Amino acid sequence: MAAVIRIMAAELVDERAPADDSVVRRLALAELPPIVDEVLARPRIQDECDKHKLDPAELRERLLADPDELLSPTNTEISAYRDAVRALGEVGPGRARERTWPSDYRAVLEFFLLLLGSAEMMGAALLVGVIARGGLPVIVKIVLGLVVAAGVVALYFAVPIGALITVTERLPPPRLRPLGTHRAAKIARWLAFLVLAVAVYALLPALERSLTVWGAIAASLLAVIALVLAFSVASLNPDMEKVIARNVGVRRARLRADAAAALDVWRDAARATVVPAVNRLISRLSAPSYDVRLTVRDDSGLGTMANLDRVVATAARERLRRVLGRMRSGAVGIAGPRGVGKTTLIEVHREGWLLPRGREHVVIRVDAPIGYEGRDFALHIYAAACEAVIDTLRTERKKWIFGRQPAEDKVRLDVVEDATRRLDRIRYLQTSTTGWSGKVTLPGTGADVSASRSTAKASQPLTYPEIINELRKFLTRVAALLSFVNSNAAATPLVVAIDELDKIASAEHAYRFVNELKALFGVPGCHFVLSVSEDALISFERRGFAVRDAFDSAFDEIIRVDYLTLAESRELLSSRLIGVPEPFVTFAYCFSGGLPRDLIRVARAMMDITHTTPAPGLAHVCAALTGTAIEQAARLAQRELRPLAHAASVVELIRLADGPSLTRRPPGELQATIGKLVQTTEETATVRLELATLLYFALTLREVFTDDLTKDQIVTASLDPGPGSFETLARARQAFGDNMTHAWLLIEEFRAAWRLPVVEL
């Protein structure tokens, strides 16, 4: 088996090629178009098409032109449906099963089975006769006779009759061989009875000498049972055929129900993928609205924060797809600030979105602990790998004794059993004890001599190098097996995803973690995908210099997940909202800095305002959201000033950091307050600069996003990459967590470009 796996592992799969099987073709050609038609027929979508003068037929053509975009997000559901179809043995209704040798040689098989059943009965009769002639007590003879009778009847049902029913259950293929027809089977049955009659007549004298009265009684009873059962099979009683057909029908009905349920799950997943795709397509094809009144026709997409069906195709996602497509093993890091979507990107990869349609892989996902021991975390990965293999590859053994189990199932079961043993070894410390003892009494002396010996064996805990070595071997075997048992497996069928690595307490611990873990990297057929901190990205980018560290030597690639651009922010909002005007899109982008998590929060806050104020203006929305941010910043500043509450400069700052008062001040007064805040003193310089920068940013938003904002201003600030662009304002928001001085300077550049008064720092 190991040789087979090595051979199969050597065969590479084109990662970019979609899986070419009947299930995927059926879904793409027969099932997907009706779902697209159903979504396009919804009243809300029809209203949008009428409003923007879009042709639904053109939308349908564009959506179905690239089925990969719609089918790849449903790869998990495609795999489940494919497994259900495979269990059923057919893709469409009415298709016959694959031909098997028992049905091809049905007559020969039934002939020997009937002779075998008769031989069992005759042998049992002789055995009962031998028991009856023995010198055992009568009650013992009766019990043994009953045991023999019961055993032979059970054996008769299990082997001859059970096998005959199994053969009968198998539907004949369209073209039967001569020995597999119903006529040949009937001839074989009656021929078996003729052979049996001749054998009994020839052996009758010997049987008469061997059998006693007890044996004759038992033989008569067994013969009656055998005759009834065998004659029922031989004559093909219509009632028996109905029972067999009913059993087969029930099993097939259950399998068809499972396949139908899996298909319904796929349809739901496809529908959830088509809806945001239609929304995005409508937004791209329709002319944007520059209305300064917030009128959104559908905000149902804001219900969940992490919604994979509405993920935006960013540059980082496409780069990760390309990197994984050309790698057959290795480690890839995903870096970026918190909330930018690193976990979402890992989840997208886990669900198979980055694979071509119909391709499958197994993802072992674990979260990195904040505090850890290397050995314990390696064991955690080991256990998670075993559990994933058991859940993915679990299958049932064939119960029919004449069936030939496919080589794939044998290998699959062997690996599952191996994973189960490994999981038990990880979880338990097993101890086994063996021994013997004896005692000898010397006759005539009354003296006793005794001796004993025992051996105890305990499995010792694995050391860290042993764990790494065992885990590498196991992952290598599993990766090869996945390619062997599944023709639709991806070129790299196994993925180990480690998330939350960027939350490890200190950079030193993160370096040590990666340095210990990199011994696992490089398993053939296995990708390691880790979310790492921006420190790791900086270290990786310095690899051209004479500086090398754990991050540089551990990762093949580190992909930066950056803030969303204005276009990507627009696409994200359009997948969750229908009809949001462009001024509110640009405001949400600038206010959130392009951070996906904050962008959705801003959209939710804007929709909350519409519930209390119908069709609010841009200035009203901007004032409400910036006012909330000002109050939060003022509250935080006052909290940080508590230890210094008695200093004179602190008292003045506390007066200035009055949140409700700040939110109500007009632009001129707010600008004067900012000027006072930047008059720094040594003890409160940091707090003053942070609060002043936030106020400066909020003031800029309020002065730009007014009800007088024109279309030309929006278009110019959206397309122009200079200091007056919305990108500059978003970059200022992004710099809040890193460098307040940099944020201040960016705001200053933007205000100068828009000819707004500038406050000198």
Q: How many CB atoms lie within 10 A of CB 4?
A: 14
pLDDT band at 368 (very low <50, low <70, confident <90, very high): confident
Query: How many CA atoms lie within 13 Å of 194's alpha carbon, on the beta-carbon side?
Result: 6
Q: What is the mean pLDDT of residues 110-136?
A: 71
pLDDT band per the 50, 70, 90 thresholds, residue 756: very high
Cα 103 off chain centre by: 39
Residue 29 has pLDDT above 80, yes or no: yes
Residues 670 and 677: their CA atoms lie apart, in Å, by 11
Predicted confidence at residue 142, as pLDDT, reads: 77
Q: What is the mean pLDDT of the chain?
A: 75
Query: How confident is the model at residue 717, as a pLDDT?
Result: 93
List residues bridging with 559 in a β-sheet: 334
Which residues, other chains included, contact 506 with Cβ-Cβ below 8 Å and sequence gap of 6+? none
More confident residue, 336 or 192: 336
Number of residues that make up the chain:
761
Task: Locate all alpha helices (DSSP H) within 180-237, ordered by sequence.
Answer: 182-210, 213-235
The answer to which of 7-16, 498-507, 680-689 has the lowest mean pLDDT is 7-16
Residue 694 or 228, more confident: 694
pLDDT at 424: 84
The whole-number average pLDDT for the span 280-293 is 82
Asked if pLDDT for residue 116 goes beyond 50, the answer is: yes
> Which letter does DSSP use for residue 94 in this model?
T
- Predicted confidence (pLDDT) at residue 89 exceeds the cutoff of 50: yes
- The Cα 612–Cα 105 span in angstroms is 79
For residues 374-379, average pLDDT? 81
Chain centroid offset of residue 67 CA: 21
Q: What's the CA gap between 451 and 432, in Å, rounded? A: 21
pLDDT for 509-538, tens place per residue? 777 777 788 888 888 889 899 887 766 556
Torsion sign over Cα 18, 24, 26, 30: negative
| Cα–Cα distance measured from residue 110 to residue 223, given in angstroms and rounded to the nearest whole number | 19
- Residue 247 CA to residue 261 CA, distance in Å, equals 21
**What's the pLDDT score for residue 249?**
61
Q: How far apart are CA 483 and CA 525, in angstroms?
A: 9
Asked if 110 and 189 count as a contact pair (C-beta separation under 8 A), the reply is yes
pLDDT recorded at residue 749 = 93
What is the reported pLDDT for 90? 46
Overall average pLDDT of the 43-58 stretch? 83
Lowest mean pLDDT among 44-48, 221-225, 680-684: 221-225
| Predicted local distance difference test score (pLDDT) of residue 301 | 64
Q: Is the pLDDT of residue 708 over 70?
A: yes
Share of the chain above pLDDT 90, in %: 11
User: Please, which pLDDT band fits residue 748 given cuts at 50, 70 and 90?
Assistant: very high
Residue 674: the pLDDT is 84
- Overall average pLDDT of the 702-725 stretch: 91
Identify the band that residue 83 occupies on the pLDDT scale cut at 50, 70 and 90: confident
Q: Which tokens go with 753? A: 């470009």
Kindly list the distances between the CA atom of residue 338 and the CA atoms of 500, 537, 586, in Å, as whole numbers in the listed order.
10, 14, 22
Summarize the confidence of residues 86-105 as an average pLDDT.
Answer: 52
How much is the CA Rg of the chain, to the nearest whole Å? 38
Q: What is the residue type of 256?
A: R
- Around Cβ 299, how many Cβ atoms within 10 Å? 17
| Bigger pLDDT: 300 vs 97 | 300
From residue 741, how far is each of 510, 693, 698, 704, 738 by CA, in Å? Answer: 29, 8, 16, 22, 9
pLDDT at residue 636, rounded to an integer: 81
Question: pLDDT at position 170, please?
Answer: 47
The percent of residues above 70 in pLDDT, for the chain, comes to 66
Q: How do beta strands 526-532 and 489-499 pair? A: parallel
Digit-coded pLDDT (tens) for 623-664: 999 988 888 888 887 777 766 656 666 666 777 777 677 777
Q: For 72, which DSSP code?
A: G
Q: Tell me if 482 sits within 8 A of 9, measured CB to CB.
A: no
Do 353 and 320 meet the contact criterion of CB atoms below 8 Å apart? Answer: no
Least confident span in 172-176, 277-281, 352-356, 591-595: 172-176
Taking 90 as the threshold, does the pLDDT of residue 747 lie above it? yes
346/333 Cα distance (integer angstroms)? 10
Residue 741 has pLDDT above 60, yes or no: yes
SS3 58: helix
Q: Within a 10 A sphere around the Cβ of 16, how many other Cβ atoms?
A: 14
d(CA 11, CA 710): 60
Mean pLDDT score, 477-505? 81
pLDDT-derived band at 356 (thresholds 50, 70, 90) equals: confident
The 3-class secondary structure across 322-339, one letter per residue, is: HHHHHCCCEEEEEECCCC
The mean pLDDT of 583-610, rounded to a whole number, is 91
Please tell me the predicted confidence (pLDDT) of residue 67: 81
What is the arithmetic mean of pLDDT over 21-40? 86
Q: Does residue 309 register a pLDDT over 50?
A: yes
Give alpha helix (H) positions in 327-440. 342-350, 374-393, 407-427
Residue 167 pLDDT exceeds 60 = no
SS3 assignment, position 432: strand
Task: Output the six-digit token pair for 276.
Answer: 């945001």
Identify the band that residue 454 occupies on the pLDDT scale cut at 50, 70 and 90: low
pLDDT at residue 5, as a whole number: 44
Summarize the confidence of residues 433-438 as an average pLDDT: 52
Region for 548 from its dihedrals, namely left if φ exceeds 0, alpha if ψ lies in -120 to 50, beta otherwise: beta
Strands 330-335 and 557-560: parallel
Q: How far apart are the first and last CA of the chain?
A: 73
Amino acid at 351: E
CA distance 511 to 493: 28
Name the more confident of 141 and 361.
Answer: 361
Distance CA(396)–CA(125), nearest Å, equals 38
Q: Flag the least confident range among 28-37, 48-57, 548-557.
A: 548-557
Q: Say if residues 620 and 613 touch (Cβ distance below 8 Å).
A: yes
* Alpha-carbon span 113 to 162, nearest angstrom: 10
For residues 448-472, give the mean pLDDT. Answer: 69
Residues near 719 by beta carbon (within 8 Å), at least 6 away in sequence = 725
Angle at 433 between CA 431 and CA 436, to 5 degrees: 180
Q: Kindly indicate the confidence band of residue 621, based on its pLDDT and cuts at 50, 70 and 90.
A: very high
Tell me whether strands 431-441 and 489-499 are parallel, antiparallel or unpaired: unpaired
CA distance 326 to 53: 43
In the structure, what pLDDT confidence band is assigned to residue 506 with cuts at 50, 70 and 90?
low
pLDDT at 725 over 90: yes
| Tokens standing for residue 582 | 């462009």
Position 546 pLDDT exceeds 90: no
Question: Which secondary-structure segment (H or E) carries 449?
Answer: strand 448-458
Q: Model confidence at 204, in pLDDT bands (50, 70, 90)? A: low
Note the pLDDT of residue 369: 73
